[in-house]
Structure 1
Amino acid sequence: MCRDYVALDIETTGLRPEQDEIIEIGAVRYKEGVPVEIYSSLIKPNAVVSSRITEITGITNEMLKNERSCREVLWEFLAFVGDEDIIGHNIRFDYSFLKAHAYKQKKGFDNKAIDTLYLAKKLHPELESRALSAMCLHYGIINEHAHRAYDDAKACAELYEKMYNQFGETNTELFRAKVINYKVKKEESITNRQKFYLNDLMKYHKINLETPIDSLTKSDASRLIDKIILNYGRISF
């Protein structure tokens, strides 16, 4: 049964792992069922955060403009997690984003996982909803900042511990971490035309890009170009 793990949560600009971006990562490391270490970081995306995402998470473009790039944060976070089992509520969503973005940085991410949403469905069929908010209400878990990565990760860990203490001894297999099968969809690399135009835009507006241009995908480059034009304007002669 899983007693040493990292409970995690991410916030993103959308629902597509290969195209949308991670804007926040939060995690709590547990040893023998006790929290021992935390991780929390915002991330500056290439794309503009939509008003809908801000409405859900409270994360604004202003909050992210001086944060680190996904590449820097992701390398740091993967080192934090190591080969620990991971836990999350609907963990496949978080896992798919982390794996897709690790793949872009030529990094692996294959940690085994436990899904507290799956556990809740199996162990509480009587409940109308097994959303994280509903499960927190059921178990009396206080989550003051729902839809922020660290707070949701912390709430998820507390939920796991509550369910483990109640059901763990009689449901050992449910509380065992398992492999998630997710294959990253390969994306086209940035085109030469995009590369030249992006370089021209950055020179014209005196912008420094933290992420190497050659590491961008075609869709990444398109979003970044749109963001620069929105914030700084087009090149005019």
Structure 2
Amino acid sequence: MSNQDAGRVIREKKGLSLLEFPKDYILIDLETTGLSPIYNEIIEISALKIKDGEVIDTFSELIKPKYEIDGFIAKLTGITNEMVRNSREVKEVISDFMNFINKDDILVGYNVNFDINFLYDNLLRASNKFLENNFVDIMRIAKYALKDKVDSFRLKKLANYYEIDTNGMHRGEKDCQVSKIIFEKVQELILDKHQTHENFLEARKKAQYLNSKDIVSENKEFDLSHQGYNKQFVFTGTLTRLTRKDAMQLVVDFGGKVNGGVNKETNFLVMGDLDYSKTVTGEKSSKIIKAETLKLKGQDIEIIPEEVFYDIFEIITTGQ
């Protein structure tokens, strides 16, 4: 099967990913039971309304999911089943969140594309409306500003780099506060170096690609800012839209690395969609358990379903 035969959810009204430094924006952070908008649920929505760089209003609410929160997510986020027992369902909370923002507001967040996908899909299911706001990914900008200064772009890693208090992270409002500081820090760093936003865009364009002969691929240039660049991927379960060989080749063609088993160098464990769906009901393989253990110890590793893997590599078709 060719790469073009792979598919993912098409969010046709989704806003644009911008490389801008707005003074007025909505900074958002979600806590979820996993990284798949299809199989996982939102358990907290938090947001800061920023005007002229200052917080003028906040939004934060826990959400009661349909399925129980498993032990790994409870440890990771600090959100337990008891905490959400009397919370409202997502369709009610997301309705209030949409009243908190305006249709023209720019949404800002750390690795915010995943949050946008969750909001888009849940809003569509709840009210048959589209989330069309443009958005800015802080991580995308930080990868340019700090590429030679840190070895990982996890939010907590950057918080430690900037000596920001991390107590309470993995809860929405705290992550929003940390993200705001980092956004301002990387803006300052970029503008000190390039003076203007336009100069930054031009410099980023020139520095975006790297020539490399060390990676086994026919490609000779790699996008350093791509989420898969220099990351190690491990596959488990049966992929439904690509052969595993084609999926591994896709990773290498973007400058990533592949491995047969989960280890301390693994950044993404990719599961076939059918296998990933079983994790919602508690069926976990040894690879998943090992990946969860490493994540709780602080490793930069995510467990993602096949459709999120395609989203990372922007593989889009209408076929499902």
Q: What TM-score comes out, normalization by structure 2 length?
A: 0.53
Query: Equivalents in 1 of 2:56, 2:185: separation in Å?
Result: 17
Partner residue, 1:178: none
Query: Equivalents in 2 of 1:5, 1:143: separation in Å?
Result: 23
Query: Equivalents in 2 of 1:109, 1:91: separation in Å?
Result: 14
Structure 1 contact 27–154 (Cα < 8 Å) conserved: no
Partner residue, 1:62: 82
Partner residue, 2:164: 141
Query: Equivalents in 2 of 1:123, 1:166: separation in Å?
Result: 7
- Indicate yes or no: 2:41 matched with 1:16: no
Query: Equivalents in 2 of 1:143, 1:73: separation in Å?
Result: 27
Partner residue, 1:90: 111
CA deviation string 1:90-114 (max 9, x = no partner):
1111011000101102121011111
Structural mapping, 1:21-36, within 5 Å? 21-36=41-56
Question: AA paired with 1:73?
Answer: V
Structural mapping, 1:94-173, within 5 Å? 94-105=115-126, 106-126=128-148, 127-168=150-191, 170=194, 172=197
Relative to total residues, which structure has the larger helix share, 1 or 2?
1
Q: Which sections of structure 2, spanning at least 5 residues, go unmatched?
A: 1-20, 202-277, 282-320
Query: Equivalents in 2 of 1:165, 1:5: separation in Å?
Result: 17
Percent identical:
32
Query: Equivalents in 1 of 2:52, 2:75: separation in Å?
Result: 37
Q: Secondary structure at the match of 1:114?
A: strand
Aligned length: 178
Structure 2 contact 47–59 (Cα < 8 Å) conserved: yes
Question: AA paired with 2:197?
Answer: T
CA deviation string 1:127-176 (max 9, x = no partner):
2112111111122222321110111011111111122223236351569x
Aligned Cα root-mean-square deviation (Å): 2.0
Q: What TM-score comes out, normalization by structure 1 length?
A: 0.71
Question: AA paired with 1:166?
Answer: L
Partner residue, 1:37: 57
Q: Secondary structure at the match of 1:140?
A: coil
Query: Equivalents in 2 of 1:144, 1:172: separation in Å?
Result: 33
Structure 2 contact 145–189 (Cα < 8 Å) conserved: no
Q: Among 46, 50, 67, which residue is 2:70 paired with?
A: 50
Query: Equivalents in 2 of 1:143, 1:65: separation in Å?
Result: 27
Structure 1 contact 7–29 (Cα < 8 Å) conserved: yes
Range with bigger deviation, 158-167 or 119-128? 158-167
Query: Alpha-carbon deviation of 1:19?
Result: 2.3
User: Which 4+ runs in 1 deviate beyond 6 A?
Assistant: none
Partner residue, 1:75: 95
Partner residue, 1:217: none
Question: AA paired with 1:156?
Answer: S
Q: Which sections of structure 1, spanning at least 5 residues, go unmatched?
A: 176-222, 227-237
